[in-house]
Structure 1
Amino acid sequence: MKFPKFSQWKQIFKTLRGAERIFFLVFIALAFLSASYLLINFYINNTKAVPGYGGTYTEGIVGQPRFINPIYGETNDVDRTLIDLVYSGLMTYDKDGNLINDLVKGYQISDNGRTYTFQLRDNLYWQDGMPLTSDDVIYTIKTIQNSDYKSPLRANWLDIGAEKISKNSFSFSINAPYNSFLENCAVKIIPAHIWKNVLPENSILSSYNLQPIGSGPYIISSIEQSNTGFIKNLSLAANQKYYNKPPYISNIFFDFFSNKDELIKAANQKAIDGFSITALDDNEAFAEKQIRQGWSANEKFDVYSFLMPRYFAVFFNANPPSGGSKILSDANITQALNYAVNKQELAQKIQSVFKGKISVVNSPILPDYFSYSPPETIYDFNTDTANKLLDKSGYKDSGTGQRVKINTKKPAFQFKNYLKSGSSGNEVVELQGCLARLDDNFKTLLASETNGKYSKGTEDAVTAFQKKYLADVPATGEAGSGTRKKLNELCLVPQDNSIPLQFTLTTINQPQLTQAANILKDYWQKVGVGVKIKIAELSELKTIIKNRDYDALLYGQAIGTEPDLYPFWHSTQINDPGLNLSEYQNKKVDQFLKDARETQDPASKAQEYEKLQNAILSDAPALFLYNPDYLYWVSKKIKGIDTTKIVDPAKRFENISNWYINTKRVWK
């Protein structure tokens, strides 16, 4: 049987009448559509969508880049963000905040935890095509350690030996075992061939601080500045020499703003695809209706919430500078201040304004984050217990709602010598003054005899005193032991010194913390504690913390994903640059910290930290409050963001290579 030729099909079509022709055309169309559907369905069922290359992402940031340089940029949020995109470290973090290899392919720990030997990956290159070797690693560490460069990272690398072994291997040696050392190794590496020709005194002026050569997933392609020098935007392109797979998103743009109002305006005008929540600071910024109001669901931002190993707490200064309040060195008082605060309610109040998840914190070791055992002591809200502890400390309600302590102080002067006619000196002056104040008759007898000489007038006044107050003692006119005792009793009345229970709470000028400070003030006033709030700008607060010039400090601390609490609580860290903000000292805690730092066994470290948390909470040198998740708003067009934990806001780009905009289909 032969299939009809096309010319024969044409003849068939001519033989058809009007209705038959329509039916025939419909049949052909349906057959074509059915075949197309079957082909498309077959393609869909046998392929899958995967990330594709291309697309651009624009982020808005409040602030300016200054040093896109790992040696200097750690103190600026904008710099740290860009450093993370342009540079690579020896170690990095995965989506769950765990340390993993980055530039290195492996490492070994030897000499009882004192030596770390690393091997670099093969075929590593800088963005200018030069090879990345162990020379670059050693140069980076030596530069950080060199005091002439004034790197903020220097304290992390003091007394650490760095030695090249071969082109691709090197070692670090430390004086004592330190199981959190690998977190130091997340430091980004700079190119020796670029920086070795720049003198230390010229390094902060180098153009490479804004036009860096790195080894990370992106390379800076352009910077646009205004006539005033303000950097308006910065462009990055995917680094085709990146050792790992090239990132899917081809270009990232950063638009810089002077304030949050400009940033929000840009978001509403569809000028940016995302922004960091750290740039926003009030209810308006957090309310979804304020961003892209009236847009469709697909146009609105996705809000990502990242958990961070940090907490906010009130640190009670046990040893403030001269003039500061010493009352917070009393554990009864600091325990009472803990009991007086309803942390659940405080977290809810803050969350109602600033949105995002806020978790209550009861311990300095974040047991929920690190899967440690919970503390034995938890200061649940209990004003009765708070009041009892304050009573125990000696501070009583004065009747005005303000607690005070009454200290009775004996007069420094006492009548001690036998005084009689002919005596003279200061003690006689005091005697004459005392008698004149006690009775107008004594004053008359003294007449003008107040010159410190014991004469007839003084003798007559003493005799009258003895007759009035010492009926059982012969009136001799001389100040013997019995007379002196009565004089001391009547003339030299002990002074009552009233000490109010009050202190100053210092915090940074940031809306979330100022709100928390005012909530704390209300709680503490309800148990009779007076609180003054001092709000400081960042530059001032740095000086305040350096000098430990505060009674109590409301502040945040980030403890890292490989927590080392030694800098935060060891007694050697009470002075700057240590981070023992309570100036807390406890020999047992010092030992727990040392043992936890030196062990290479995670289970042993956990045990030491669990003992540590119980000791600290018993002494109550701080009030641990809450941990807010880090919020990040991103356009729905961006896919592949699966991060759950970050150690620092800048680490939100740690897995940027997995983000994508475009997709393509491949055969299953």
Structure 2
Amino acid sequence: MRKILQNLKFNKTALRPPSLKQWEQFFSLLSYKERVAFFSFLICFVVSLGFLIGIFIINHTKIQPASGGVYEEGVVEQQPRFINPLYLSDRDIDRDLVELIFSGLFKYNEQGELVPDLAQQHEIKEDGRVIEVYLRKNAFWHDGKPLSAADVVFTVNLLQDPQYQSPLRTKWLGVIVEEIPGEAVRFKLPKKYNGFFENLTLKILPRHIFKDIAPQNLPWSFSSTKYLIGSGPFKFQKLDQNSTSGYVKKITFKRNDEYYGTKPLLQKISFVFYKNSEELLKAIKAQEVQGFSSYDLANFPKTNSFKSYDIAIPRYFALFFNQNNQSNKNLTEPEIKKALALAIDKNQIIEKVFSNKAVEENSPILPDFFNFKEPEIIFNNNLQEAIETLEKSGFKLNPTTGLREKTMSAEKPFVFKKNLTFRNQGQDVIELQKCLSKFPDIYPTGEINGYFGKKTKAAVIKFQEKYYQDILAPSGLTKGNGEVKQGTREKLNEICFAQNDSALPLEITLTTSDRFPLPEIAEIIQKNWQALGLKTTIKKVPLAELQTDVLAKKNFEVLLFGEALGAIPDPFPFWHSSQKNHPGLNIASYNSQKADGLLEKARENQSADEQQNALEQFQDVLLKDLPAIFLVRPNYIYFLSNKINGFVVQKITEPAKRFSTIENWYIKTRRVWK
């Protein structure tokens, strides 16, 4: 055996791999079929090995977002105007850009809840009337300067100054702000207000940039790009603008690598501007943009390269009745307003205007959004009940015109109530003589002197005998006696002061903006009310006129408009009687002491349960008075390319807040070992 083993021993060179020449000799010894079989097995081995390696890598690594990539969003029919936190306009694009460039003490998370941003911590003192906020130590402006408590105080003082005409000024009236040691700010409120924390989402301005600029020289226009210095996750990089018209074609922001929060993964964000939906649609199909938003889904068919997100937002549309309207007092009648509410088919609005991307609303506190109790009074669509309600109110359908009208009896200018006899005088005698003078055959002289003389008595006798069957016969008299008593008075009143009835039509002028989706909603309501027999005229006005004329002067009968609540529901600005006059937001001029008390209670309660209870009581009080008909709450529809990941926002307070977690968005990925 030992001899056999010795014969089997290999020298060290036997362990070396074959050389290229040896491989050539090896293949030359194989037949064609053997070579095919060998290479087939070799390929299978390599593929299997690669597959096993791939499985191993997949099982022992994970996909992780990677830095890099450019996101471009399409914007239609808007141009940036005021990219300044003090002067946010009604344009969503202005708010979008401010959201990316600037930051506030607090911000909203993906659930629409308030969370600290520049604030490191905060303390509530003196039963909610004093709030102290301590700032982060690592926050810097885009130009490298540190952000301090002085910047916060400066920003608030700036918007409180009436010379700067900030629309946010009313939210800060009576609030005292002061810097305290430890990079902190103290806010003193005139009274407890649990919604004040929403004010602290105010974007902060850099004091060192704006401190020496007079109010009249404050940069209002977008062209002042050198003032776009913030502390947000992205900073201004480039503006592509038509040199002749000034039309902004594209604006680009780059990642703020010194951002105090989670560093954004996206390298750049650009907004590309299109003049109409058709241009944007072409860009979408060509995949030139990776995101866009629109309420008007009919113009944007589904595409497999984009995902759509239905984001809940506390905005609703409603019909507001002008409570002080003198030209159409029908609209102050509770039963009329009830009938109008019952006639509206909200499902038509949801389906036809918002492509089923909206929910029905019946209350100003949005119970479905804030998880409150539904109101006791809900006006579900019921045309028959609406018709019956109007019928009971006296508004009948005119078969000739097809419109509803109410017969109104005009008040008689004069009625004989006293007995009149020979030698009486006064105003009643004057009216008697005026009446008799209408009959030349009875009172030929027609003399009107206020004295019941022989001529007047003779005329009364002739009048009594002319209407013998109505005056004399019922009293058993055969000839007139010249005395004006009950029978004679009744006939005089009937002939001389006949009742003139008039038809009061039920007509409504519905005022609204000329911007989508308001005209489309108005047309559906018009058809609903026409089915009820109402003549409804739609008055569409530009937004500027709506603000300066319609809202400021309360120049409307019924206004179709929208309102928005915040993360902390506070309907006080929209319904408290102190907000009736311009620039208050109480559109309907609603006035109710009971409602006022509940709104004040809701503002002052720190307990969420107490606040909810007060608001639920308030909604029932308001719906009994019905100063408005609540319609729908549309979702915010946002489209993102399949290439964009990390978007998790479910609730927002306004469209710009979709960027509240922009630092988590990503395009590029990489694998890392688990």
CA distance 1:210–1:427, change in 2 (3 Å): farther
Equivalent residue number for residue 340 of structure 1 = 343
CA distance 1:228–1:314, change in 2 (3 Å): same
Equivalent residue number for residue 333 of structure 2 = 330
Equivalent residue number for residue 548 of structure 1 = 554
Counterpart Cα distance in 1 of 2:435 and 2:50: 117
1:338 maps to a residue whose letter is A
1:146 maps to a residue whose letter is D
1:225 aligns with 2:241: yes
Equivalent residue number for residue 294 of structure 1 = none
2:128 maps to a residue whose letter is G
TM-score, structure 2 normalization: 0.89
CA offsets per residue over residues 237-290 of structure 1, 9 Å max, x none? 001111112211101111122333332233234332221215xx473x1333xx
Equivalent residue number for residue 15 of structure 1 = 26
Is the Cα–Cα contact under 8 Å of residues 68 and 209 in structure 1 kept in the other structure? Answer: no
Specify the SS of the correspondent of 1:572. Answer: helix
Within the candidate set 73, 79, 90, 1:59 is matched to: 73
TM-score, structure 1 normalization: 0.90
Q: For the aligned residues, what is the CA RMSD? A: 2.7
Is the Cα–Cα contact under 8 Å of residues 133 and 184 in structure 2 kept in the other structure? Answer: yes
1:142 aligns with 2:174: no
Counterpart Cα distance in 1 of 2:89 and 2:220: 17
1:359 aligns with 2:359: yes
Within the candidate set 645, 650, 658, 2:664 is matched to: 658
CA offsets per residue over residues 40-85 of structure 1, 9 Å max, x none? 2222211111111111111111211122110112432211010001
CA distance 1:449–1:30, change in 2 (3 Å): closer
Counterpart Cα distance in 1 of 2:404 and 2:220: 56
Specify the SS of the correspondent of 1:541. Answer: helix
Counterpart Cα distance in 2 of 1:552 and 1:21: 90
Deviation of 1:312 after TM superposition, in Å, equals: 1.2
Equivalent residue number for residue 607 of structure 1 = 613
* Greater mean alpha carbon deviation, residues 248-257 or residues 332-341: 332-341
2:636 maps to a residue whose letter is Y
Deviation of 1:420 after TM superposition, in Å, equals: 8.1
Is the Cα–Cα contact under 8 Å of residues 154 and 207 in structure 2 kept in the other structure? Answer: yes
Deviation of 1:356 after TM superposition, in Å, equals: 5.0
Deviation of 1:433 after TM superposition, in Å, equals: 4.8
Counterpart Cα distance in 1 of 2:307 and 2:129: 45
Equivalent residue number for residue 468 of structure 1 = 466
Counterpart Cα distance in 1 of 2:528 and 2:537: 13
1:113 aligns with 2:118: no
* Displacement over 6 Å in runs of 4+: 416-429, 453-457
Is the Cα–Cα contact under 8 Å of residues 101 and 231 in structure 2 kept in the other structure? Answer: yes
Equivalent residue number for residue 411 of structure 1 = 412
Equivalent residue number for residue 6 of structure 2 = none
Specify the SS of the correspondent of 1:204. Answer: coil
1:127 aligns with 2:142: yes
Deviation of 1:516 after TM superposition, in Å, equals: 2.1
Within the candidate set 521, 533, 537, 1:528 is matched to: 533
Match runs of 1:495-644 below 5 Å: 495-542=500-547, 543-644=549-650
Q: How many residues align?
A: 647
Q: Which runs of 5+ in 1 are unaligned?
A: 292-296
Equivalent residue number for residue 201 of structure 1 = 216
Equivalent residue number for residue 440 of structure 2 = 443
Within the candidate set 60, 65, 82, 1:46 is matched to: 60
1:177 maps to a residue whose letter is K
CA offsets per residue over residues 442-500 of structure 1, 9 Å max, x none? 42354464565878765543321022334256645575786455423331123323322
Specify the SS of the correspondent of 1:498. Answer: strand
Equivalent residue number for residue 349 of structure 1 = 352
Q: Which runs of 5+ in 2 are unaligned?
A: 1-9
Is the Cα–Cα contact under 8 Å of residues 405 and 499 in structure 1 kept in the other structure? Answer: yes
Deviation of 1:424 after TM superposition, in Å, equals: 9.2
Deviation of 1:235 after TM superposition, in Å, equals: 0.9
Counterpart Cα distance in 2 of 1:160 and 1:370: 28
Counterpart Cα distance in 1 of 2:97 and 2:561: 26
CA distance 1:265–1:32, change in 2 (3 Å): closer
CA distance 1:206–1:306, change in 2 (3 Å): closer
1:174 aligns with 2:158: no
Equivalent residue number for residue 273 of structure 2 = 256
Deviation of 1:419 after TM superposition, in Å, equals: 7.3
Equivalent residue number for residue 385 of structure 1 = 385
CA distance 1:207–1:257, change in 2 (3 Å): closer
* Greater mean alpha carbon deviation, residues 118-127 or residues 365-374: 365-374
* Greater mean alpha carbon deviation, residues 576-585 or residues 99-108: 576-585
Counterpart Cα distance in 1 of 2:41 and 2:488: 134
Counterpart Cα distance in 2 of 1:399 and 1:456: 53
Is the Cα–Cα contact under 8 Å of residues 436 and 442 in structure 2 kept in the other structure? Answer: no
